[in-house]
Amino acid sequence: MVRFKLGVTAFILLAMAGTAMAQDPTLAATPPMGWNSWNHFAGDVNDADVRAAADALVSSGMRDAGYIYVNIDDTWEGDRDAQGNITTNSKFPDMKALADYVHSKGLKLGIYSGPGPKTCAGYPASYGHEEQDAKTYAGWGIDYLKYDLCSYRQILRQEAGKDQEKAFAMEKAAYEKMHQALLATGRPIVYSLCQYGNFDVWKWGADVGGNLWRTTGDINDTYDRMADIGFGQLGLAKYAGPGHWNDPDMLEVGNGGMTADEYRTHMSLWAILAAPLLAGNDLSKMSDETKSILMNKEVIAVDQDRLGKQGDRAYAVGMTEIWVKPLAEGAMAAGLFNRDSVEHTVTLRLRDIGFTDQAKLRDLWKHEDVSANGGSFTATVPPHGVVMLKVSR
Ligand code: GLA
């Protein structure tokens, strides 16, 4: 009896210690949604652009559709002061005031740094200043940190050389260091790992506190790159779940390099992948078509489904692929994708994805119920396009 009680006490203590070590479980319970400055503004982003993005998130309805993080990417950083505190450069005169402004709109503010001495764009990063930087961010009211490997690769080369095991241990330790620094601030800060998928980060990203981790190199605004990344996420589903997500990089929807069908493919695929949805376009100049893609609530609901399961490919026939994502209440999202540059018909057989012929179907881009014929649904899918369905019992 005494032994049993001790056992229970030890269990409770261990469970409490576990809770204290982990990130807040409500943080990124569904894939983070918001906007990031990089894909459109790159190194030109400034305070006014970020305020305009916050304003547009509200006026367009995007905030209410779930896009709540306003993330400043690289190039906000100034020099360190005499005490080693990071400062902002002249493009961002007052980060605390910017955070207050963003918060006043019911939004959250994200920032960017990395474990090396310099960011990818050559600005000061957090090497040797991790705790100090985390405290500075928390003091400003930052809610999200993207932590980009960049120049830490030079340190790995210098200190680990060709020893891959040592390089892996060092990389993990560098991410864990900032994780601990963020925890020590006591402020819930979403932790976004950006090291392009090295060392199969999906297998250990959550152990170093990552709420999301990039699985690949950078996206760009072309169908080929987007499709390579998106359709290349095969087999990663089991590593994602509430609080910890695979990140195939930010959205390019609305940046002008793809057709509307290609952007619908991008949005649909990212939703099926339970990917973070971080818009990367100029929100102050959005066409109605861009808005209709970014704010398709039925597609967003697939991404944000409370089960938190990432989808995967069910099967491929030639250049067409069917990807499915399990949803709450036994439902499933299905994307019928055409990767070819000519139109194709694609047939979804309900039994192949675990449904009976009686399943209910809804077309999430047409926003209408559709029906199967003899247990199959056949769609004509445009070049590089998609037909996206919700299948319910
Ligand atoms: C890397 C990242 C990008 C972006 C730039 C900024 O390339 O992968 O997402 O943050 O750095 O310099």
Task: Work out whether strand 69-71 and strand 33-36 pair parallel, antiparallel, or are unpaired.
Answer: parallel
Closest atom of ligand 1 to 196 CA is 8
Closest atom of ligand 1 to 218 CA is 8
Adjacent-strand bridge partners of 243? none
Closest atom of ligand 1 to 120 CA is 12
Q: Which residue's alpha carbon is nearest to atom 6 within ligand 1?
A: 74
Q: How far apart are CA 97 and CA 140, in angstroms?
A: 8
Cite the beta strand spans of the chain per DSSP E.
Answer: 33-36, 69-71, 77-80, 86-88, 108-113, 144-148, 190-194, 212-214, 245-247, 277-279, 312-317, 320-326, 332-338, 344-349, 360-363, 368-370, 376-381, 386-392
C-alpha 119 to ligand 1 mean position (Å): 8
Q: Which residue's alpha carbon is nearest to atom 5 within ligand 1?
A: 120
Tokens of 269: 């695929």
Residue among 35, 45, 73 to mutate when testing ligand 1 (max atoms within 8 A of CB) = 73
- Which protein residues are within 6 Å of ligand 1, measured from CB? 38, 73-74, 119-121, 148, 194, 218
Closest atom of ligand 1 to 214 CA is 8
DSSP 351: G
Residue among 35, 111, 194 to mutate when testing ligand 1 (max atoms within 8 A of CB) = 194
* Tens digit of pLDDT at every position of the chain (393 positions): 334 343 444 434 334 333 334 456 689 999 999 999 999 999 999 999 999 999 999 999 999 999 999 999 999 999 999 999 999 999 999 999 999 999 999 999 999 999 999 999 999 999 999 999 999 999 999 999 999 999 999 999 999 999 999 999 999 999 999 999 999 999 999 999 999 999 999 999 999 999 999 999 999 999 999 999 999 999 999 999 999 999 999 999 999 999 999 999 999 999 999 999 999 999 999 999 999 999 999 999 999 999 999 999 999 999 999 999 999 999 999 999 999 999 999 999 999 999 999 999 999 999 999 999 999 999 999 999 999 999 999
Q: Which residue's alpha carbon is nearest to atom 11 within ligand 1?
A: 120
**Global pTM?**
0.94
Contact 121, 75 (CB under 8 A): yes
Angle at alpha carbon of residue 247, lines to 34 and 389, rounded to 5°? 80
What's the residue count for the chain?
A: 393
Q: Which residue's alpha carbon is nearest to atom 1 within ligand 1?
A: 120
Q: Which residue's alpha carbon is nearest to atom 3 within ligand 1?
A: 218
C-alpha 148 to ligand 1 mean position (Å): 7
C-alpha 251 to ligand 1 mean position (Å): 13
Closest atom of ligand 1 to 121 CA is 12
For 354, what's the count of Cα atoms within 13 Å in the CB-facing half-sphere?
Answer: 11
Burial (CB < 10 A; 0-12, 13-18, 19+), residue 354, is middle
Residue among 218, 219, 278 to mutate when testing ligand 1 (max atoms within 8 A of CB) = 218
C-alpha 47 to ligand 1 mean position (Å): 19
Task: Work out whether strand 360-363 and strand 386-392 pair parallel, antiparallel, or are unpaired.
Answer: antiparallel
Q: Which residue's alpha carbon is nearest to atom 9 within ligand 1?
A: 218
Contact 355, 331 (CB under 8 A): no
C-alpha 243 to ligand 1 mean position (Å): 22
SS3 154: helix
C-alpha 193 to ligand 1 mean position (Å): 11
C-alpha 303 to ligand 1 mean position (Å): 24
Per-residue model confidence (pLDDT) at position 25: 65
User: Position of tokens 């152990």?
Assistant: 207
C-alpha 273 to ligand 1 mean position (Å): 21
| Residues 6+ away with beta carbon under 8 Å from 381 | 320, 336, 337, 338, 343, 344, 345, 346, 387
Model confidence over 271-321: pLDDT tens digits? 999 999 999 999 999 999 999 999 999 999 999 999 999 999 999 999 999
Per-state percent for the chain, helix, strand, coil, to nearest 5: 40, 25, 40
| Residues 6+ away with beta carbon under 8 Å from 10 | none
Kindly list the catalytic residues: 148, 218
User: Position of tokens 């697939």?
Assistant: 302
Pick from 335, 333, 303: nearest CA to 316 = 335
Residue among 148, 152, 192, 198 to mutate when testing ligand 1 (max atoms within 8 A of CB) = 148
Contact 151, 100 (CB under 8 A): no
